[in-house]
């Protein structure tokens, strides 16, 4: 070490010194290299039991780290001590770190079940836009590129801000802070649309929503596993939240009254609730209970929620491939999500009932009061009425299909006049029998003998022009 300097301790600051040239080395009117530089000293314990230390004396932090003031010298000393304790050189300088690597480090050090999901979202929207930029050089304009790209693809404001959470958190986590990332003010980001909330279902889906509801219902009925089909029917037909459904116990189901009790500890609102179930659900649930000999306190569903959600996503993807779900924009991670079952009911039924009325009386929205909601006979009556009409829509069969395949759809019963009853087709008219009542379907055809529309005549002979009808209401088989 040079002997040209005296090291003067900075008052009240341990281990901080300034270099002062010894008188014999001073040259009038000139400033020698190293004069006035900040120096640091510290010791690191090697063996606590023997009190052995390794000493670092008068390290030049001005030369090595560009320190020019006291506070920077203090910070430099603290960093040097940390580096040595980690087995590194006191003046260790991290290599350039990319945003991709920063996110990887952040997720490795975070304990969360969402790590895989967040990494997938990052890779989809950010990785190939700015992932290769060094964190020391990244700018707010780089993140603006991500915002602009997602807005161009019709993503909502809250979706974009959630997507940015992972890289922002990565830049601020301790392991990445050691690399001295550029400090950014994310309030400078500009958004064209700051409206929160998801884009309405009818703006994302171009398929007629009534047809969409019927298509999803048909797809659920095709699931072979009884337990999984039961779960999907409850979430879809009764529009209940997925986290609530997986917690249903056997004693929550009233098989005589066809209702399910949603316990306080299972509802999002924390309010006790009750809702009706259709025959499709009650019969299947009874079959499930008998098959596995379940007891009253047992849970109905044995799989984790993810298994059912993945199955629903698979069914939706199949409908998309079959072109039964058509979308308008590139907005979505998935064109139709399981939570959209609730939106679908409210949208389809709002021609007759307001969305607020449906939300309060059927969807069990959190803002509905406990007085209104707790086992109210009136509310249950509304639920039966609205859901009953919705179920009829789900069960709808094309009248044209009935005409073309009458034996497949029309129930026949012995009415005392004939030994056996079958569907009868005479020209453009199909006759069937439902609970001893003769039903008649007539189909208008065009010049090429192709059906145009169906006409249903009820038991009073009144004409009903329609293209579809509930198989339960009108005696169709499914």
Interval 368-382 mean pLDDT: 56
In angstroms, rounded to a whole number, what is the distance separating the alpha carbons of residues 43 and 227?
Answer: 67
> Predicted confidence band at 441 (pLDDT cuts at 50, 70, 90)?
low
Burial class of residue 359 in the structure, from the number of CB atoms within 10 Å of its CB (0-12 exposed, 13-18 middle, 19+ buried) = middle
The percentage of residues in the chain with a pLDDT greater than 90, rounded to a whole number, is 25
In this predicted structure, what is the pLDDT of residue 85? Answer: 86
What pLDDT does 478 receive? Answer: 47
- Band (368; pLDDT cuts 50, 70, 90): very low
The CB-based long-range contact list for 128-132 (8 Å cut-off, 24+ gap) reads: 130/99, 131/98, 131/99, 131/100, 131/103, 132/98, 132/99, 132/100
Residue 439 has pLDDT above 60, yes or no: no
Helix (H) or strand (E) holding 163: helix 157-172
For residue range 274-305, list pLDDT tens digits in order: 999 998 999 999 999 999 888 989 999 988 88
Cβ atoms within 10 Å of 407's Cβ, excluding its own: 12
Residues with Cβ < 8 Å from 141, sequence gap 6 or more?
none
Judge whether residue 415 has pLDDT over 60: no
Sign of the four-CA dihedral 322, 328, 331, 335: negative
The listed range with the strongest mean pLDDT (57-61, 83-87, 429-433, 455-459) is: 57-61
Q: pLDDT tens across 231-267, in order?
A: 999 999 999 988 899 999 999 999 999 999 999 888 8
Segments making up each domain of the chain, as ranges: 5-85, 99-188, 203-394, 396-470
Would you state the pLDDT for residue 259? 94
> 232: which residues sit within 8 A by CB, 6+ positions away?
220, 223, 308, 311, 312, 315
**53: its two tokens:** 């230390």
User: How many CB atoms are closer than 10 A to CB 109?
Assistant: 12
Note the pLDDT of residue 90. 87
Q: Mean pLDDT, to the nearest integer, of 7-22?
A: 88
pLDDT of residue 453: 59
| Rounded CA separation 337/261 (Å) | 25
pLDDT band at 425 (very low <50, low <70, confident <90, very high): low
Q: Is residue 370's pLDDT more than 50?
A: no
Q: Per residue in 73-109, pLDDT tens?
A: 998 899 889 888 888 888 877 677 899 999 999 998 8
Confidence (pLDDT) at 404: 67
> Residue 427 above 80 pLDDT?
no
Q: Using CA atoms in the order 314, 317, 322, 327, what is the torsion angle rounded to 10 degrees?
A: 150
Mean of pLDDT values over 156-161 = 84
Candidate CATH numbers 1.10.287.610, 1.10.443.10, 3.40.50.300, 1.20.58.340; the one for domain 203-394: 1.10.443.10
pLDDT single digits (tens) 211-226: 888 889 989 999 999 9
- Above 80 in pLDDT, residue 58? yes
Looking at residue 109, its pLDDT comes to 87
Which of 14-28, 107-121, 415-429 has the weakest average pLDDT? 415-429
pLDDT band at 371 (very low <50, low <70, confident <90, very high): very low
Tokens 């409908």: give the residue. Answer: 319
Radius of gyration of the chain (CA): 36
Q: Count Cβ neighbours within 10 Å for each residue of 390-399 and write b for 16 or more, e otherwise.
A: bbbbbbbbbb
Tokens of 1: 């070490």
Would you say residue 468 has pLDDT above 90?
no
Residue 418 has pLDDT above 50, yes or no: no
Q: What is the pLDDT of residues 330-359, one digit of tens each?
A: 444 446 778 888 888 888 888 777 777 787
The fraction of the chain above a pLDDT of 70, given in percent, is 74
Rounded average pLDDT over 129-148: 93
Residue 129: per-residue pLDDT: 93
Strand partners, 420: none
Q: What number is the average pLDDT over the span 141-158?
A: 88
CB 246 within 8 Å of CB 231: yes
Judged by average pLDDT, the poorest of 130-144, 241-255, 445-459 is 445-459
For 70-121, give the DSSP string: HHHHHHHHHHHHHHHHTTS-TT--PPP-BHHHHHHHHHHT---TTHHHHHHH
Helix (H) or strand (E) holding 6: strand 5-9
Residue with tokens 């040209």: 4
Pairing relation of β-strands 429-434 and 437-445? Answer: antiparallel
Q: What is the pTM of this model?
A: 0.54
Tell me the two tokens of residue 305.
Answer: 């929620």
Question: In this predicted model, what pLDDT tens digit does every residue of 169-215 receive, in sequence order?
Answer: 999 888 888 788 888 888 889 988 765 556 677 767 778 888 888 88
Rounded to an integer, the average pLDDT of 30-34 is: 64
């Amino acid at each position: 070490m040079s002997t040209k300097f005296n090291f003067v301790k900075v008052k009240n600051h341990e281990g901080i010194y300034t270099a002062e040239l010894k008188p014999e080395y001073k040259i009038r009117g000139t400033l020698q290299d190293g004069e006035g530089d900040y120096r640091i000293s510290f010791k690191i314990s090697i063996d606590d039991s023997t009190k052995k230390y390794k000493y670092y004396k008068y390290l030049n932090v001005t030369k090595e780290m560009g320190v020019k003031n006291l506070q920077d010298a203090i910070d430099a000393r603290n960093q040097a001590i940390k580096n040595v304790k980690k087995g590194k050189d006191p003046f260790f300088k991290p290599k350039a770190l990319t945003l991709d690597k920063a996110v990887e480090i952040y997720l490795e050090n975070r304990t969360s079940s969402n790590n895989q999901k967040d990494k997938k979202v990052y890779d989809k929207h950010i990785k190939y836009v700015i992932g290769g930029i060094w964190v020391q050089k990244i700018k707010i304009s780089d993140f603006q590129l991500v915002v602009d790209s997602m807005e161009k693809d019709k993503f909502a404001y809250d979706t974009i801000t959630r997507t940015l959470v992972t890289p922002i958190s990565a830049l601020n986590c301790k392991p990445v802070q050691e690399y001295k990332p550029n400090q950014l003010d994310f309030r400078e980001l500009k958004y064209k649309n700051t409206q929160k909330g998801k884009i309405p279902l009818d703006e994302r889906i171009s398929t007629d929503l009534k047809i969409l509801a019927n298509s999803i219902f048909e797809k659920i009925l095709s699931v072979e596993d009884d337990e999984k089909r039961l779960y999907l029917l409850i979430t879809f037909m009764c529009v209940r939240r997925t986290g609530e459904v997986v917690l249903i116990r056997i004693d929550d189901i009233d098989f005589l009254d066809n209702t399910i009790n949603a316990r306080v500890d299972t509802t999002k609102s924390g309010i006790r609730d009750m809702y009706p179930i259709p025959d499709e659900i009650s019969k299947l649930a009874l079959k499930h209970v008998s098959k596995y000999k379940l007891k009253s306190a047992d849970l109905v569903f044995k799989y984790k929620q993810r298994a059912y959600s993945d199955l629903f996503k698979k069914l939706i993807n199949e409908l998309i491939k079959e072109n039964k779900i058509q979308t308008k924009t590139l907005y979505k991670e998935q064109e139709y999500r399981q939570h959209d079952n609730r939106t679908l009911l409210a949208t389809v039924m709002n021609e007759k009932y307001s969305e607020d009325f449906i939300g309060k009386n059927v969807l069990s929205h959190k803002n509905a009061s406990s007085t209104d909601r707790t086992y109210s006979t009136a509310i249950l009556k509304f639920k039966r009425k609205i859901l009953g009409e919705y179920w009829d829509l789900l069960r709808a069969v094309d009248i044209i299909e009935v005409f073309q395949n009458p034996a497949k759809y029309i129930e026949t019963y012995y009415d005392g006049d004939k030994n056996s009853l079958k569907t009868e087709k005479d020209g453009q008219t199909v006759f069937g029998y439902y609970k001893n009542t003769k039903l008649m379907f007539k189909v208008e055809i065009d010049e090429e003998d192709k059906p145009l529309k169906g006409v249903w005549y009820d038991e009073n002979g009144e004409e009903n022009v329609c293209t579809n009808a509930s198989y339960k209401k009108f005696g169709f088989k499914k």
